Structure 1
Amino acid sequence: MLDTTSQDAITSAAGFHLKTIEVQDLTMATVRAYRDMPASAVEREINSGHVKHLREKADAGRLVSFHWVTAEVANKPGVILRINGQHSSTMLAEMDAAIPSGLKVIREHYLCDNDDAVALLFQQWDDRKSSRSSADVAGVYQGLQEDLNDVSKPYGKLAVDGYVWFQRYVEKVPAPVGDLAYSLFSDKTLHPFIKWFGTLHNSKTRELQNKAVTAAIFGTYHANESAAKPFWEDVARGGDPDQEDLPTTTLDLWLRSIYEGTIEYDKFGSANYYQGCVYCWNLSRDNKKVPGNVKYEVKKNFALIRE
């Protein structure tokens, strides 16, 4: 035990009162005792996916100190209930002798006036509004790159999301998933695209702010940067309203109609966004106009992007 504070219950208008707080070495004996502790009625059912996620973090060496909370209700003295930590203690117990050394656990114990106070206490950890969103994580990774300081963070995140979509579904090569995808901000070869992509967007380009559309933007940029920039900049401006059959005008009208809900399609998904964008791009590269409606159906494979 590294540090222990024990005190009379601290007064709380919420109905739960801190009794003790301590920092302990995380041993297998501690883990098993906590895992086998009676659960409070408010504790969630065990989720195997959550346990797997924690194990992946453990295997990657990304575990930090745990924060576990117990409580007892005033009318049931001596009955210690586990408030949180079910998933982490289950995962650590499954590791057995492989549990990492040097980890600590912060233990807090509360006295609750009644069962309602137990429910309220449970809500103080990992509440939805306080949890870190993917946008928060992306912002941290982007913030580490000085040359991306001028890029709006929502557009920086979207640029990486689109790149990952392109890698996974078009190129069909491995790409980081989840929040780890934003480690790609450290890839300097992506910075020119991210910086240009940030200049492409504003509050009036919402129809373009879609992962699959961004994937098409990246794919065309990668194929022919000098042609992709004016093409997409024209799409972002709405094209030429006097020539609705131009690929850039047609594409913007098509995307806006989907965004605004004036056109609805059955079984329309991300792949269709991508295919429709590439269809218009390819016509533009051939100096052709759009002969009718945008072709967005994906049969066996995506359309190849022409240089």
Structure 2
Amino acid sequence: MTRALFRSPTGLIGLTSLTLLVLTAVVSWVWTPHDPLAVDPAAGWLPFSPDHPLGTDSLGRDQLSSVLVGARVTLVATLLATGIAAFLGIIIAIVLSIVPPTLSAFLQRLVDVSIAFPTLIVAIILVTGFGASTLIASISIGLSASVIIARTVLPELRRAQKSDFVLLARAAGAGRARILRVHVLPAIAPTFIVRTSQVMASAALAEAGLSYLGFGTPPPTPSWGRSLADLQSQILTRPEYLIAPALAIVIVVVGLNLLGDALRDGLLPRAHRTRTTTPSSTDPSRKATVAS
């Protein structure tokens, strides 16, 4: 898998984007040019300069420091949301695959319905009850993405459970837990990894969008989405101030999407890739991806 990523241009771009995000976040934990929370209204809207390479906002906060700390917020929120989505998604898929068919069909309809709820609606519900925070935004993104992962993995899980090697393991007296751990989960790992990597890109974009709308990371903590919201009033008079946070979002989201594409090309066979990446117009997982 690693060799395929390094041989693929999209894989290299994706890995570079992810590496830049991680390095920027790590650097922001130990060093920033200025205190990103330091307010000096007298220094508001300073132009680009050696001391402030990206200028300052209306409160005199250094924009470069805000962008660096925003990478930390994006990384934490993306990893947390992806972890929640991956864990809940595989659990939901396993439950749907082992319960009786009638109950499984009913639960699968519930999953299909929940896919229709966009991340923003889930975030609004959670924020109303618990308040806006990076954690709440990550949980809402993870919950929304978990059903998409479950819906994608479930057909592969059922296909693996009907395979010859699983039937032989059952005939040999292997327990359900051992069959799941030794035979089924490794068989669905490529699909699961690819879908989870694609969720990372969606999570990064969703976190920025929620913060922009006020349902994500609250002030004064810097985040890329919050920076865009704070700077939007200057889009006509000082558009250059919006370039850094907007470009950071584009680099990370596009890079993670390309990484997911490279993993798909490297891990999934061509026939399987065609089947799983070109769903019909009635496939609920496709609708959910567009909605979210």
Q: Would you say same fold, with TM above 0.5?
A: no
Whose strand proportion is higher, 1 or 2? 1
The TM-score with structure 1 as length reference comes to: 0.23
Whose helix proportion is higher, 1 or 2? 2
Q: Which has the higher contact order (CA 8 A, sep 6+)?
A: 2
Larger radius of gyration: 1
